[in-house]
Amino acid sequence: MNKIDVCLTPELLHLCETENKNVVVIDILRASSSITTALAHGIARIKPVAGLEECRALKKQGFIIAGERDGKKADGFDLGNSPFDYMDRSLAGKTIAMTTTNGTMAISKSKDAAKVIIGSFLNKKAVVDELLRGQNDILLLCAGWKGRFSLEDTLFAGAVVKDLGHDFQVDHDAALAARYLYDGTGSNLPAVVENASHAQRLKGLNIQKDMAFCLTFDKYDVVPVLKGEFLIIKI
Ligand code: MLT
């Protein structure tokens, strides 16, 4: 039986093998939610980029650039990182270069995986179905916040461990802890997550509506996957 594990923050990634695994990058508030929303709304490709200056250089090459630092839209960028930024019909078919505080960094650290998938509550069922079709061990990588634990990312990881518990062998205590955390709180996610540090940060930026949206289950039946240097919808 293949195994499923959870990496609670990218700081622990050196202890978790990613090669030959299907890695699900999780950044509920908000990178993986925004990426899922963007591709579901017809944006053709997203190029995850580690740094602000690299993104700014891509703007000169004709890319639309999107991103934030500490939740705030980056200076001179076309878009921030609210999922609502990516619903604009005029963006359909376009390519976007994106950089975020934690999410795009986590993606860049997963590049030697067998497959990199973007997971969010918005596409949880589609991600679980994709993982069930796979033949590899699974690593659920929580993007966290600047190396620290993220409650909302871990809750999502726990929800996926719960969904896959009969088909994959739980590997290590982080996966068990995530599952128990979700079992204990999953029935009232908004009330739990609103106390999380990044939710409080977003509240301070008056973007509560993003939180409610990012905690919506299975709004989109899409699976963003990394193909070369771009995130696209898996066909
Ligand atoms: C992240 O990378 O942690 C998020 O994108 C931050 C945010 O969008 O607020």
Q: What is the pLDDT of residues 164-182, one digit of tens each?
A: 999 999 989 999 999 999 9
pLDDT score of 208? 87
State residue 171 phi and psi, 5-degree precision: -115, 115
Mean pLDDT value of segment 135-147: 97
Strand intervals (E) in 20-147 = 21-26, 45-48, 64-69, 72-73, 95-99, 115-119, 137-142
Nearest to 4 by CA among 161, 146, 112: 161
Mean pLDDT value of segment 214-223: 98
The enclosing H or E element of 120 equals none
pLDDT score of 27? 98
DSSP state of 74: P
For the chain, percent of residues with pLDDT exceeding 70: 100
224: CA distance to ligand 1 center in Å?
17
pLDDT score of 3? 97
Mean pLDDT value of segment 60-75: 95
Residue 4 contacts residue 130 (beta carbons within 8 Å): no
228: CA distance to ligand 1 center in Å?
23
For the chain, percent of residues with pLDDT exceeding 90: 95
pLDDT score of 235? 78
103: CA distance to ligand 1 center in Å?
6
Q: Work out which ligand 1 atom sits closest to the CA atom of 80.
A: 8
186 pLDDT higher than 80: no
DSSP string, the chain: --EEEEESSGGGGGGS--TTEEEEEE-TTTHHHHHHHHHHTT--EEEE-S-HHHHHHHHTTT-EEEEEETTEEPTT-SB-S-GGGGG-GGGTT-EEEEE-SSHHHHHHTTTTSSEEEEE-GGGHHHHHHHHHH--SEEEEEE--BTTB--HHHHHHHHHHHHHHTTTSEE-SHHHHHHHHHHHHHGGGHHHHHTTSHHHHHHHHTT-HHHHHHHT-SS-----EEEETTEEEE--
The preferred substitution site among 29, 77, 154 for testing ligand 1, maximizing ligand atoms within 8 Å of CB, is 29
143 pLDDT higher than 90: yes
Which residue's alpha carbon is at the smallest distance from atom 5 of ligand 1? 31
pLDDT score of 58? 96
Residues having CB closer than 6 A to ligand 1 are: 27, 29-31, 68, 71, 81, 100-103, 143
121 pLDDT higher than 80: yes
172: CA distance to ligand 1 center in Å?
27
Q: Work out which ligand 1 atom sits closest to the CA atom of 100.
A: 2
Q: Work out which ligand 1 atom sits closest to the CA atom of 101.
A: 2
Mean pLDDT value of segment 125-138: 97
Q: Work out which ligand 1 atom sits closest to the CA atom of 81.
A: 8
Mean pLDDT value of segment 45-68: 96
86 pLDDT higher than 90: yes
